[in-house]
Amino acid sequence: MGAQSSRAGKHMLKQDGRGKEKTCCSGTMRGPMKPCHCPSRKLLVPLLSLVLISLALLKLPLFHTYQKPIGVSVDPIYRERVRTYVQEVLSNECRPSFARQRMRPDHSRSTPVAQPFLYKNTILNDEMFKYSPPFGFLGMQKNLKEVLKLLPSSEESSGGRECRRCVVVGNGGILKGLGLGALLNQFNVIIRLNSGPVKDFSADVGNRTSIRMTYPEGCPKVWEDTDSDLKLVAVIYKSVDFHWLRAVITETAISLWDWLFFWQKVPERVPIDVSQFHLLNPEIIRETALDLLHFPTPRKRFWGWDQNVPTLGVSALNLATYVCDEVSIAGFGYNLSQRNAPLHYYDDLTMTAMLKEYMHNVQTERVFLKHLIMSGTVTDLTGGIHCSFC
């Protein structure tokens, strides 16, 4: 009964499914639209009205259906050039700690993050509680401790590991028709974002997933990853995100109250083992925003943040420099002048949808990524940010 009415409320808020999510730089995601603490109940009515009004104002396109992409024609010469480049990247010698060392000069402002994920036995430091989500867990000690209890203990570092190549696969339409799937599968660590699907698109995007980085609203509604070594890396944007994580780990219901704070339907089940759930250290996001993108120090406003939340794509790239030695990106970037180019590899939204983006500072991210690619720190396999093989 309770679940029934929660569902109704959620539909009201939902507005659109896939159409609304993931509309930024890397084709990844928009940030939080909600205040980060549960406001008291007396605020609920004005809050809900505001949500509905702002959704109406946004006039979001109503794409409810999950469409298979129409065929795109890619210039065969360009396609061959991309494939040759990816093969070259894969055959180059893997240089230990390369990406992290090359990025070090950018990190002048603070010390590198000690651990990219938080575990049951992680020793929490004060830095972690300096800011509200997604930059930290200010005021959320209790939520954090409840979730950490459910998570595995950190893996023992077994000394030296083999040199690893990461690829962060963005959700950009630029991947369509390039047939890079088999090549992307050859990377040691494949990081995917939110609900970026694999099943029907494996020819272009591969079918292995090592890390799926997501927040509740972005998480796949239909789970497709079957890899035994997969990690689901949860990113926290608001306190109810902790409740969602706790619910999917323990396979319990999400409370009716919590449902009101998600801006889009969230999955109630994630069919993976408890040991596969991971919690992103918010310092990865804080470092991405403050040290790498040089965004202003977070100041909280009632409606989220002031274009200073990095996209999930750039945050994943920072994460990749911690878990891998060499880092590549694929499916990042787009050309806003090409309004009819596909925005994502899995739907038929066009660039026009992208123009609605307001939460992220897409331009700053693009400049930053371009700098990383042109300096050789990171390779852009599909050339959407900077094409070094064109």
Ligand X SMILES: *[C@@H]1O[C@H](CO)[C@@H](O)[C@H](O)[C@H]1NC(C)=O
Interface residue list for ligand X (CB under 6 A): 207-208, 226-227, 335, 337-338
- Least CB distance from residue 383 to ligand X, whole Å? 10
Q: ∠ CA 54-133-365 to the nearest 5 degrees?
A: 75
- Least CB distance from residue 214 to ligand X, whole Å? 18
Cβ closer to ligand X: 77 or 123?
77
- Least CB distance from residue 372 to ligand X, whole Å? 17
Which DSSP state fits 331?
Answer: S
State the alpha helices, DSSP H only, in 228-294. 239-250, 256-259, 282-286
Asked if residues 99 and 267 have their Cβ atoms less than 8 Å apart, the reply is no
- Least CB distance from residue 89 to ligand X, whole Å? 21
Q: Which amino acid is at 246?
A: R
- Least CB distance from residue 337 to ligand X, whole Å? 4
| CA distances in angstroms from 332 to 111, 197, 251, 359, 376, listed in the order given | 28, 16, 34, 18, 16
Cβ closer to ligand X: 129 or 389?
389
Cβ closer to ligand X: 252 or 338?
338
176-204 in b/e form (b: 16+ CB < 10 A) is bbbebbebbebbbbbbbbbbbbbeebbeb
- Least CB distance from residue 213 to ligand X, whole Å? 17
- With H, G, I as helix, E, B as strand and everything else as coil, classify residue 224: coil
- Least CB distance from residue 26 to ligand X, whole Å? 16
Q: ∠ CA 221-223-11 to the nearest 5 degrees?
A: 5
Cβ closer to ligand X: 19 or 206?
206
Cβ closer to ligand X: 206 or 216?
206
- Least CB distance from residue 223 to ligand X, whole Å? 12
- With H, G, I as helix, E, B as strand and everything else as coil, classify residue 211: strand
CB atoms within 10 A of CB 169: 31
Cβ closer to ligand X: 112 or 271?
271
Cβ closer to ligand X: 200 or 251?
200
Please measure the distance between the N-terminal and C-terminal CA atoms of the chain and give it in whole angstroms.
58
| CA distances in angstroms from 341 to 15, 73, 74, listed in the order given | 24, 11, 12
Cβ closer to ligand X: 40 or 337?
337
- How big is the chain by its Cα radius of gyration, in Å? 20
Cβ closer to ligand X: 229 or 251?
229
Cβ closer to ligand X: 53 or 355?
355
- Least CB distance from residue 226 to ligand X, whole Å? 5
132-167 in b/e form (b: 16+ CB < 10 A) is bbbbbbbebeebbeebbeebeeeeeeeeeeeebbbb
Which DSSP state fits 303?
Answer: T
Kindly tell me the number of DSSP H helices and DSSP E strands found in the chain: 13, 8
Assigned token pair, 6? 């929660």
- Least CB distance from residue 228 to ligand X, whole Å? 8
